[in-house]
Structure 1
Amino acid sequence: MRILFVTATRIGDAVLSTGLLDHLIRTHPGARVTVACGPAAAGLFARLPGLDRVIPMEKRDWRGHWWSLWSRAIGTRWDLVVDLRGSALAWLLRARARAVMRGGRRPGHRLAQLGAVLGLDPPPPPVVWTAAADHARAAALLPPGPPVIGLGPTANWRGKVWAPERFVALFDRLAGADGALPGARVAVFAGPGGAEAAMAAPVLAALPRGRTIDLVGRLTLTEVAAALKRCALYVGNDSGLMHLAAAAGTPTVGLFGPSPAEEYAPWGPHTAVARTRVPMAELIAAPDYDHRTTGSLMGSLPVEDAVAAASALLARLAPAAAQ
């Protein structure tokens, strides 16, 4: 069986789609899969069982990226084309079956929207595919010792970025003598590129030396997933890294303000959300609001709220962790 799976440009949405792909692999043993996605998300699928190839879709003018994908897919007769981007592509290819997501935003969590494409309710949870080499790399960077708190201080637009000094204060509270993870180390996660490094730099500069592990731009996505599995807790802005942490099974707290937690909260019983005290609708209602240029809108999320969310999550998970 040959499956073409067309998924998201951004890492977070691509992570959320992995549950659907895992479902297809499990229900069609031996299937060969081609994944089309944005370049930033391509590394997520490097360890996918049954992978034939990943086609990175570089955005081009005049929808040229779609014509490029069509030219690379038209020579195959597909048993199933799954298009989560709601394009016309599936109808322009030879395929025995098609599943195409309807365009436009709808109420409910994004994962439920994705599950509906294949008629799955409840939707299958996101997964990560890793290899022994990824875990060896992660173990070398995060060796056994005190627990590790992962921090994700970056996001794809500035409005979602919590202040660096608040991430530092959060770690100090959680790792302090009276905190939920006393004596913990800290690992700072961010993707490659100057913008990500710039957002992470003030956090790294203020964290305690000797207890800080700098993972900014140093790992592939499968290595990041393996490293996240070694963390006792992850706290980060609404981002792809947040979804990857949740998919890895790490206790995850997502920080939300001007983005919809109802649609994009981290998924699973091991997750929690801390929100700004000013509602999203009010944050984005300003006449001069523009997600491309507006600065951080996370100011009404105090450190104590994030600490409380993290501490409550760890306390809720403690009985299961002790078994």
Structure 2
Amino acid sequence: MRILFVTSTRIGDAVLSTGLLDHLLRAHPGARITVACGPVAEGVFARMPGRERTIVVAKRPWSLHWPVLWGQVATTFWDLVVDLRGSALGWMVPARRRAVMRGGRRPGHRLGHIAEVLRLDPPPRPVAWFAPEDSAAVDALLPTGPILALGPTANWHRKVWPADRFAALARALTAPDGPLAGARPVLLGGPGAEERAMAAPLIAALPDAVDLVGKLALPEAAALLSRAGLFVGNDSGLMHLSAAAGAPTLGLFGPTPADEYGPVGRAARAVVAPDGQMTGVSVEAALAAARDLLPMQVAA
């Protein structure tokens, strides 16, 4: 069986789509899947079983990336085309069956919108794929003992929690009487100067933290997060990857809707600013949510 799976240009939405892919892999053992995604999301699928090919769709002026993608897939007869971009492409390639996501904003979590494409209820939870070599790579970078993973960056500056609050929360969590007593903070973020600049104040505030901002590929980040005692981060692709990897995940939300993009995993929770501003999330509220979240690991 050959499946074409067209998914997001963004890491967060791409991670949320992995639950649908995991469902397809279980429902169709041996299926050969071609994934079409944006450049920054490519690593989400790098270790996916059953992946025959990844087509990186780089945006072009006047939406010319769509004809380019059509030229790469139109000569294959697909058993199933899943198009989460809601584009015309899903209707313009030869296929036995098509599942095209409808566009537009609507109530409910994005995960549910994705699952509706194949009429799945409840929605399958996202997964994070990584290999033994990814685990080995991060093990060489980490200290022994528990770790507190922190994601101080985002794709929009208004989604970034102040560095002094991240630092205060990290100290409270890892204090001798904290829920992660003795854990070592590990700072994570994407590549590039902008992400580095966002993380710089927290790097300075936590000199004993392990600084891995911009230093890991996505499968390596997933491997690291799978062994984290807790992840705390802004609404970002890294937050979704953490929840998919199975880490207890605390997402911090201000101007973006947690009811649509909150983290989904075995132990995941959002802290939402009452005023829609990241400064509205207090250290006390985040600490209380973290204390409530950590016992969920046992029951999840």
TM range (shorter): over 0.9
User: What pairs with 1:167-182 in structure 2 (closer than 5 Å)?
Assistant: 167-182=166-181
Residue in structure 1 matched with residue 247 of structure 2 by the alignment: 250
Q: SS at 1:58's partner residue?
A: coil
Residue in structure 2 matched with residue 303 of structure 1 by the alignment: 283
Q: Sequence identity of aligned pairs in percent?
A: 61
- Taking structure 2 as the reference length, the TM-score comes to 0.98
Residue in structure 2 matched with residue 227 of structure 1 by the alignment: 224
The 10-residue stretch of structure 1 (87-96 or 135-144) with the greater mean CA deviation from structure 2: 135-144
Q: Residue type matched to 1:138 in 2? A: V
Contact 1:236 1:253 in 2 (8 A): yes
Residue in structure 1 matched with residue 48 of structure 2 by the alignment: 48
- Taking structure 1 as the reference length, the TM-score comes to 0.91
Deviation of 1:13 after TM superposition, in Å, equals: 0.3
Deviation of 1:277 after TM superposition, in Å, equals: 2.4
Deviation of 1:320 after TM superposition, in Å, equals: 4.1
Q: SS at 2:112's partner residue?
A: helix
Contact 1:8 1:84 in 2 (8 A): yes
Q: SS at 2:87's partner residue?
A: coil
Distance in structure 1 (CA, Å) of the matches to 2:265 and 2:129: 17
Q: Residue type matched to 1:194 in 2? A: A
User: What pairs with 1:191-270 in structure 2 (closer than 5 Å)?
Assistant: 191-209=190-208, 212-270=209-267
Deviation of 1:143 after TM superposition, in Å, equals: 3.8
Contact 1:150 1:188 in 2 (8 A): yes
Residue in structure 1 matched with residue 188 of structure 2 by the alignment: 189
Distance in structure 2 (CA, Å) of the matches to 1:124 and 1:12: 16
Query: Is structure 2 residue 156 aligned with structure 1 residue 157?
Result: yes
Query: Is structure 2 residue 20 aligned with structure 1 residue 20?
Result: yes
Residue in structure 2 matched with residue 276 of structure 1 by the alignment: 273
Listed one character per residue, the Cα deviations across residues 67-117 of structure 1 (whole Å, up to 9, x for unaligned) are 110011111111111000100101110111100000001101111111110
Residue in structure 1 matched with residue 76 of structure 2 by the alignment: 76
Deviation of 1:316 after TM superposition, in Å, equals: 3.6
Listed one character per residue, the Cα deviations across residues 212-262 of structure 1 (whole Å, up to 9, x for unaligned) are 111111111000000111210000000000000000000000000100000
Residue in structure 2 matched with residue 125 of structure 1 by the alignment: 125
Q: SS at 2:278's partner residue?
A: coil
Q: Residue type matched to 1:137 in 2? A: A
Residue in structure 2 matched with residue 90 of structure 1 by the alignment: 90
Contact 1:4 1:33 in 2 (8 A): yes
Residue in structure 2 matched with residue 293 of structure 1 by the alignment: none
Distance in structure 2 (CA, Å) of the matches to 1:320 and 1:126: 19
Contact 2:243 2:266 in 1 (8 A): no
Structure 2 residues not aligned, in runs of 5+: none
Deviation of 1:144 after TM superposition, in Å, equals: 2.3
Distance in structure 2 (CA, Å) of the matches to 1:176 and 1:277: 28
Q: Residue type matched to 2:170 in 1? A: F
Q: Residue type matched to 1:276 in 2? A: A
Contact 1:170 1:303 in 2 (8 A): yes
Distance in structure 1 (CA, Å) of the matches to 2:87 and 2:112: 20
User: How many residues are aligned here?
Assistant: 300
Residue in structure 2 matched with residue 286 of structure 1 by the alignment: none
Distance in structure 2 (CA, Å) of the matches to 1:214 and 1:237: 17
Residue in structure 2 matched with residue 101 of structure 1 by the alignment: 101
Contact 1:142 1:230 in 2 (8 A): no
Q: Residue type matched to 1:237 in 2? A: N
Q: Residue type matched to 1:231 in 2? A: A
Contact 2:246 2:266 in 1 (8 A): no
Give the 4+ runs in structure 1 shifted more than 2 A: none
Listed one character per residue, the Cα deviations across residues 104-160 of structure 1 (whole Å, up to 9, x for unaligned) are 011011111111100100011000111110111121112422x11000000110111
Q: SS at 2:168's partner residue?
A: helix
Q: SS at 2:21's partner residue?
A: helix
Contact 1:135 1:223 in 2 (8 A): yes
